[in-house]
Amino acid sequence: MRAVLDWELAHTGDPMEDLGWICVNSWRFGEIDKPVGGFGTREDLFAGYEEAGRKADPDRVMFWEVMGTLRWGVMCCGMMQRFRAGPDHSMERAMIGRRASETEIDLLRLLAPRA
């Protein structure tokens, strides 16, 4: 196997969105100092992207990281609503739903970083 594809959010859009999405804090799984999926640096991500023949735009990637964080927070809220109102009362929905508060903190850190 060379790759795993997750098609649930697939769409045509800005390639920088994909780079921003993998930098969303929720996908770091506790590895805060490794902003790319919890396993790498932005510099290495951009270098690899450019080696493949594309130019990375760090400002656009940051925009999409913020938007991805917001989107994940909204999705978490939807999961909680689905858990509370039905039809899915699974523990998974409740656990994902409670993560909405984490995205609030992540957004504050992105929009108003400490010096």
What would the pLDDT profile of 60-112 be if each residue is shown by its tens digit? 999 999 999 999 999 999 999 999 998 888 999 999 999 999 999 999 999 99
Please report the pLDDT score of residue 5 as a whole number: 74
Average pLDDT over all residues of the chain: 93
Place of tokens 């930098």: 23
* Amino acid identity for residue 102 in this structure: E
CA 25 to chain centre: 6
Band (1; pLDDT cuts 50, 70, 90): low
**103: Cβ contacts below 8 Å, ≥ 6 apart:** 26, 69, 70, 72, 73, 76
Residue among 35, 31, 32, 44 nearest 62 (CA): 35
Please report the pLDDT score of residue 18 as a whole number: 94
The whole-number average pLDDT for the span 22-44 is 95
